[in-house]
């Protein structure tokens, strides 16, 4: 991450998240032709009309999720695999990140990037992540990097009690929402306006 981005985030995002991001080489997660721009604090194109999220957004989402060592995390919208790699650092070798992407070419791109970066505790799968990934549920944390019309019920149901889900919700105006599963029901916290590509699928926007 660039020094100016670090300075902007220091104080509002935990040092643990910033340190994890410092250990993941973002240039390995963007197409070769734009590696010179890898550390700019903005989304960058990764092909198939999709983007790798801006570093500050990855930092904020990881911070809001409060990802601990050893956790089992579901990541919806793998894209380049960068966000999954940062979460893999946060869960450490005892934890695991399951990351699901609907576009085959991006799932392949992400697997190559994760291998090049030496990340071992991320499994990339192809499919409609708006349905979650029941095979490996329940999850301690769920990260969704695409905006949904409303919070998908399967994702809420695949959280452990005490588990947390972060997701952008809305179309014209999108808001980052944190959902925590309680013993009974769910609590919601709103974390301000954001801009994401749509979550397309059964519990997302229509394709
Ligand atoms: N986290 C990514 C990264 O680190 O590069 C960036 C994610 S990009 C903003 C959003 C991704 O969500 C796109 O790759 C898009 O194809 C994917 N996506 C959209 N709908 C999806 C769905 N239903 N299931 C899985 N992936 C989906």
pLDDT digits (tens, 9 = 90+) for 62-121: 999 999 999 999 999 999 999 999 999 999 999 999 999 999 999 999 999 999 999 999
Number of Cβ within 10 Å of residue 179's Cβ equals: 19
What value does the mean pLDDT take over residues 33-62? 96
**Taking the domains of the chain in order of start, what are their residue ranges?**
2-194
Identify the pLDDT of residue 7. Answer: 81
Task: Tell the residue number behind the tokens 């085959």, with chain if given.
Answer: 104
- Tell me the helix, strand and coil percentages in the chain, rounded to 5: 35, 30, 35
- Cis peptide preceding 123, ω within 30 of 0: no
DSSP 10: B
Tokens for 160, please give them: 């452990």
Tokens for 186, please give them: 């769910």
| Share above pLDDT 70 across residues of the chain, in percent, rounded to a whole number | 100
Query: Does position 6 have pLDDT exceeding 90, yes or no?
Result: no
32-56 per-residue burial string, b: 16 or more CB within 10 A, e: under 16: eeeeeebeebebbebeeebbbbbbb
Query: Containing H/E element for 188?
Result: strand 186-194
116 CA distance to ligand 1 middle (Å): 20
Identify the pLDDT of residue 134. Answer: 98
Identify the active-site residue in 12, 37, 53, 171: 53
199 CA distance to ligand 1 middle (Å): 7
Q: What is the layout of strands, in order, in the sheet containing 122-126? A: 122-126, 96-101, 72-76, 139-144, 159-169, 174-181, 186-194
- Specify the residue with its C-alpha closest to ligand 1, atom 12: 77
| CA-angle at 123, arms to 57 and 201, nearest 5° | 65
Per the CB < 8 A criterion, the answer to whether 84 and 54 are in contact is no
- Whether this prediction's pTM lies above 0.85 is answered by yes
pLDDT in tens, 168-192: 999 999 999 999 999 999 999 999 9
Identify the pLDDT of residue 67. Answer: 98
What are the distances in angstroms from CA 4 to CA 17, 43, 153?
16, 16, 39
Per the CB < 8 A criterion, the answer to whether 141 and 164 are in contact is yes
Tokens for 59, please give them: 């930092």
Instruction: Tell which atom from ligand 1 comes closest to the C-alpha of 83.
Output: 4
Note if 53 is an active site residue: yes
Q: 163 falls in which pLDDT band (50, 70, 90)? A: very high
5 CA distance to ligand 1 middle (Å): 23
Identify the pLDDT of residue 2. Answer: 78
DSSP 81: S
109 CA distance to ligand 1 middle (Å): 12
Query: Does position 14 have pLDDT exceeding 80, yes or no?
Result: yes
Which protein residues are within 6 Å of ligand 1, measured from CB?
A: 50-53, 76-77, 79-80, 82-83, 100-103, 106, 128-130, 145-146, 196-197, 199-201, 204
What value does the mean pLDDT take over residues 32-41? 94
Q: Which CATH architecture has domain 2-194?
A: 3-Layer(aba) Sandwich (3.40)
By C-alpha distance, which of 99, 101, 81, 77 is closest to 31? Answer: 81
By C-alpha distance, which of 199, 197, 96 is closest to 151? Answer: 199
DSSP 158: T
């Amino acid at each position: 991450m660039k020094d100016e981005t670090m300075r902007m985030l220091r104080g509002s995002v935990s040092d643990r998240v910033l340190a994890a991001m410092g250990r993941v080489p973002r240039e390995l997660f963007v197409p070769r032709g734009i590696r010179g721009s890898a550390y700019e604090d903005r989304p960058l194109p990764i092909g198939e009309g999709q983007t790798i999220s801006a570093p500050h957004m990855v930092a904020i989402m990881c911070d809001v999720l409060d990802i601990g060592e050893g956790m089992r995390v579901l990541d919806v919208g793998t894209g380049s695999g960068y966000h999954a790699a940062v979460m893999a650092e946060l869960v450490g070798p005892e934890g695991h990140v399951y990351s699901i992407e609907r576009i085959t070419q991006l799932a392949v791109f992400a697997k190559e990037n994760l291998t090049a970066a030496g990340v071992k505790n991320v499994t990339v799968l192809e499919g409609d992540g708006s349905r979650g990934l029941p095979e490996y549920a329940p999850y301690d944390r769920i990260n969704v990097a695409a905006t949904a019309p409303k919070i998908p019920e399967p994702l809420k149901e695949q959280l452990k009690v005490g588990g947390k889900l972060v997701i952008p919700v809305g179309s014209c105006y999108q808001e980052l929402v944190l959902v925590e599963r309680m013993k009974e029901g769910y609590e919601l916290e709103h974390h301000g306006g954001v801009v994401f590509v749509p979550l397309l699928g059964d519990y997302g926007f229509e394709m």
